[in-house]
Structure 1
Amino acid sequence: MTQLVHYHCEDGIAALTLNRPEQRNALSLALWQELETHLTTIEQAGQDIGVVVLRSNGPVFCAGNDLKERGVKFPRPFYQPHIVRRLASLPQPLIVAVQGGCFTGGLELALAGDIIIAAESASFADTHAKFSMVPMWGLTQRLPRRVGSFKAREISFTGLPVSGREAERIGLANSCVPDDQLEAHTARLAKAIASQSRHSVFAYKALYTEQTDLPLDAGLAHELFNTRGVGPDLAERVAKGFGKA
């Protein structure tokens, strides 16, 4: 049986790969259920996993929700938004690697990432309005936090695509690379994160997330009084660092 979301974990790097290339990786109920199962696995692994990569097979990252399944009954209300929020709330950093189309629900899925890497072929678009739909999976909250309120309005009001290079320029993507370098570039970032102290990286993600909307003074106080302090691997890492020097 074909896996709709392939899961692989090695050397502290977990990879989730959307695997419906013939359907442009459209988000079906079965795909959501597999993704949910893998998220549980990652959450239970804790610090055994240092970073998560979300990517897809085929020329298109994700065409969005599978509109052929309109009327399908999901396991519970707000099922998809809950899974997207779980993805965004993983304690591990989440890297999203995007090639080809990344539309509507696919864009909402990508926006759950801490780092978005775009291939030059990437094309991001919010096409909710084309189909008389309104987002429910976090787009109106996460997109303006990346590109600013008024650029987000332009993207949503017009439905026009944003290229990989333009996504990099406006901050939607952290970087844009040639398609044949997407996998290697993503792997390099994932390995760099996985090599860091899990204690520090997990604490960083929590602090960045918690302080998103705080004024500077409140954010400074939050960082000071909510620090997790030094990790249990401090001495070992200091010794290794001095040894290399």
Structure 2
Amino acid sequence: MSQLVTFEADGGVATLTLNRADKRNALNLALWGELDAHIARIEDARDKIGVVVLRAAGPVFCAGNDLKERGVAAPRANYQASIVTRLANLPQPVIVAVQGGCFTGGLELALAGDIILAGESASFADTHGKFALVPIWGMSQRLPRRVGQWKAREISFTGLPVSGAEAARIGLANHCVPDDELEARTRDMARAIAAQSRHSVLAYKALYTAQADLPLEAGLAWEVFNSAGVGPDMAERVSGRFG
């Protein structure tokens, strides 16, 4: 039986691939269970992993929740939401590479990333309203924090798709690239992050996360009083050993 989420680790880069392409990577409970287990594996690895990539097999990133499982009991309350939050809260930066459709639950999953790279075929949409649903996996909180309150309202109220190019323009995606370059651009960015000091990168993510909603003065104080200090690899890096 094929894995619904595959895991690879190479050179400090962990890659998670949604692998249900025949169902447009729709999020069923079995897929969530595998994703949860892989996230736990990354958490246990600590700084052996410097960056996480979330990508998808096939032409579609994720069609959203598998509505055929509506009414099927999840293993625990707030199951899917808790997994999205764990992904967002990983100490490592998370890069999400999106091609094709990225709809509703799939968009909520993508929004857990620190950096979103979109292929030109990418199409982002919040279709909760189409199905008389309301979000419980973070859409109403993470989308406005990324694109602003009023653009988020437009996306959610209308359900209309946002192209990869438009996503980059409004800040939903960091970059939009040709589809045939998406894998290479994602790999290059992941390797660039992995080549940095893990101490610094993980400390940066913790600082950015903690300060996201603080006023400037409080954020400046937080940075000073919660500094992780100098990393154990500083001397080697200053000496030029790391290039």
Matches within 5 A, 1:110-129: 110-129=110-129
Structure 2 CA distance for aligned equivalents of residues 64 and 131 of structure 1 = 12
Structure 2 CA distance for aligned equivalents of residues 7 and 73 of structure 1 = 26
Residue 51 of structure 1 aligns with which residue?
Answer: 51
CA shift for structure 1 position 240: 1.4
Query: Does residue 26 in structure 1 map to residue 26 in structure 2?
Result: yes
Structure 1 CA distance for aligned equivalents of residues 20 and 41 of structure 2 = 21
Aligned residues: 243
Return the TM-score normalized by structure 1: 0.98
Task: Report the 3-state secondary structure (helix = DSSP H, G, I; strand = E; otherwise coil) of the residue aligned with 1:213.
Answer: coil
Matches within 5 A, 1:67-146: 67-146=67-146
CA shift for structure 1 position 140: 0.6
Residue 187 of structure 2 aligns with which residue?
Answer: 187
Q: Provide the aligned C-alpha RMSD in A.
A: 0.8
Residue 235 of structure 2 aligns with which residue?
Answer: 235
Structure 2 CA distance for aligned equivalents of residues 226 and 30 of structure 1 = 39
Task: Report the 3-state secondary structure (helix = DSSP H, G, I; strand = E; otherwise coil) of the residue aligned with 1:33.
Answer: helix
CA shift for structure 1 position 116: 0.1
CA shift for structure 1 position 4: 0.1
Structure 1 CA distance for aligned equivalents of residues 112 and 10 of structure 2 = 22
CA shift for structure 1 position 22: 0.7
Structure 2 CA distance for aligned equivalents of residues 108 and 70 of structure 1 = 18
CA shift for structure 1 position 85: 0.1
| Equivalent position amino acid for 1:218 in 2 | A
Structure 2 CA distance for aligned equivalents of residues 124 and 235 of structure 1 = 44
CA shift for structure 1 position 71: 1.2
Quote the sequence identity (%).
Answer: 72
Residue 42 of structure 1 aligns with which residue?
Answer: 42
Structure 1 CA distance for aligned equivalents of residues 129 and 20 of structure 2 = 25
Which segments of 5 or more consecutive residues in structure 2 lack a partner in the other structure?
A: none
Structure 1 CA distance for aligned equivalents of residues 81 and 69 of structure 2 = 17
Structure 1 CA distance for aligned equivalents of residues 69 and 75 of structure 2 = 14
Structure 2 CA distance for aligned equivalents of residues 39 and 218 of structure 1 = 31
Which segments of 5 or more consecutive residues in structure 1 lack a partner in the other structure?
A: none
CA shift for structure 1 position 73: 1.0
Residue 155 of structure 1 aligns with which residue?
Answer: 155
Query: Does residue 11 in structure 1 map to residue 6 in structure 2?
Result: no
Structure 2 CA distance for aligned equivalents of residues 25 and 57 of structure 1 = 8
Task: Report the 3-state secondary structure (helix = DSSP H, G, I; strand = E; otherwise coil) of the residue aligned with 1:116.
Answer: strand
1:167-200 Cα deviation digits (max 9, x unpaired): 0000000000000000000000000000000000
Structure 2 CA distance for aligned equivalents of residues 68 and 2 of structure 1 = 20
| Equivalent position amino acid for 2:214 in 1 | L
Structure 2 CA distance for aligned equivalents of residues 72 and 39 of structure 1 = 23
